[in-house]
Amino acid sequence: MAKTVKKRPGKRTNKKRDVDATKRPRKRAATAKTKKRRLAPTAPPEPRAEPAPRPPLAIGPGSVVLDRLYAVVQDRRNADPAVSHSARLLSRGLPKVAQKFGEEAVECLIEAVAGNRDALVAESADVLYHLMVLWVAADVTPDDVWTELRRREGISGIAEKAARARTLPVASGLETTKIP
């Protein structure tokens, strides 16, 4: 039967240790020399080939659909909120439009994780619609976004993210603890 070592005052431990004849010796901490040995490759790494140049970003038929959807939402901005869903959303203000977009995005994520392809397609359409409503509410045009996508093309995602200005979000009026 194994004995249990009692805790000594002043020492913090989360587990009681069993003391018996089969106790394994502790591993020694790795030194810089042993780390180098473990990490040393057996053969020199092959040089990486340059990635093949990509064709220019083609904003094609999909963007035409989004441009048309944006135009419809833009036209409905001044419509009667009792008749137009877009007008009703826009009349509630940017914070509520952004909140609705977030809700739709979460529903899209849920369907993706659940593996429901058809539901994911439907929720993705909802996300794109609510993104257009958000753009209209925030006075952003599809051309603004397409221009930004063209600017980012060919730039590493890590380099692009590092180049962005780091600013704190402005208080938006949303009642949430998720925005710093």
Tell me, yes or no, whether 87 lies in a domain: yes
Give residue-wise pLDDT tens across range 57-66. 445 567 788 9
Give residue-wise pLDDT tens across range 87-141. 999 999 999 999 999 999 999 999 999 999 999 999 999 999 999 999 999 999 9
Number of domains composing the chain = 1
- Which CATH number belongs to the domain containing residue 85 in this structure? 1.10.287.1080
- Domain span at residue 127 reads 61-143
Tell me, yes or no, whether 28 lies in a domain: no
> Among candidates 51, 72, 60, 73, which has minimal Cα distance to 149?
60
What pTM was estimated for this model as a whole? 0.57
State residue 134 phi and psi, 5-degree precision: -60, -45
Q: Is 131 exposed, middle or buried (0-12, 13-18, 19+ CB in 10 A)?
A: buried
